[in-house]
Amino acid sequence: MKLASWNVNSLTIRLPQVLTWLQTQPVDALALQELKLTDDKFPHQEFEALGYHSVCFGQKTYNGVAIVSRSPLRDVVRNIAGFDDEQARVIAGTMDTEFGELRLINGYFVNGNAPATEKFEYKMRWLSGLHNWVRQEISLHPRLALVGDFNIAPEDRDSHDPEGLRETIHHTTEERDHFKALLALGLQDAYRCFEQADKSFSWWDYREMAFRRNRGLRIDHILVSAALRDRLKACTIDRAPRKNERPSDHAPVIAEF
């Protein structure tokens, strides 16, 4: 079984790339972030033609998340239970797999803009709300994966310039502490369960030839519960779509079980 996560930075623009990718990388579930479209515009039929079911939670112009999966999702939840939020950032559902039920939570985490701003404070509140909810979800669903664009580089090795960017957005102690708190719930960073090449990133700015120079960040993650970790075989970042014409600035992350 394979799970993947990809911030597509506008599904309207990137839909042909996503469909082509699914044909070459037939994953069992793909979590999408930053759709930038409303629910009525979501291309369910295009995914259905490839054999996928889909659920979405969209918003005009900004945000938006979806899951496309081989198995239908049930018990679908939109946004963080118990956290009042007008932005479409989270969708979760339960799917059947070869080894039982799996709870998949897909999040487009708050960017935060810069420390000591109102948007950063919103990010801190949002992360606290997520933590409280995921703690409940894990107690109900032993096989759980929390995936998405976290907008957090958890460690220095997840940044192309850890010293120059220290305590800036994505690199602050507060953000990294929230990431550690999620791991403390019993989750593991699937990518770091394996030896990986140095300077492995999932996001590169469009400016200053950042991708060509590999000046990136690893901010897209797949966290898995202990029951899934026991079945985890590999976790990789697929850089190929970042080479497309008009690509997303993010690359897909894939976990294989």
In angstroms, the CA 220 to CA 137 distance is 21
Residue at token pair 């580089």: 153
Among 52, 75, 122, 149, the one annotated catalytic: 149
Cβ proximity of 7 and 149 under 8 Å: yes
Q: Is 249 tagged catalytic?
A: no
122 tagged catalytic: no
Answer positive or negative: Cα dihedral of 142, 143, 148, 151.
Answer: positive
Annotated catalytic residue, options 75, 85, 96, 108? 108
SS3 of residue 226 by DSSP: helix
Residue type, 224: V
DSSP class of 7: E
Strands (E), the chain: 2-7, 29-33, 53-57, 65-69, 74-78, 90-97, 100-108, 144-149, 187-189, 203-204, 216-217, 220-225, 234-237, 253-256
What tokens does 32 get? Answer: 């999408």
Residues catalogued as catalytic? 108, 149
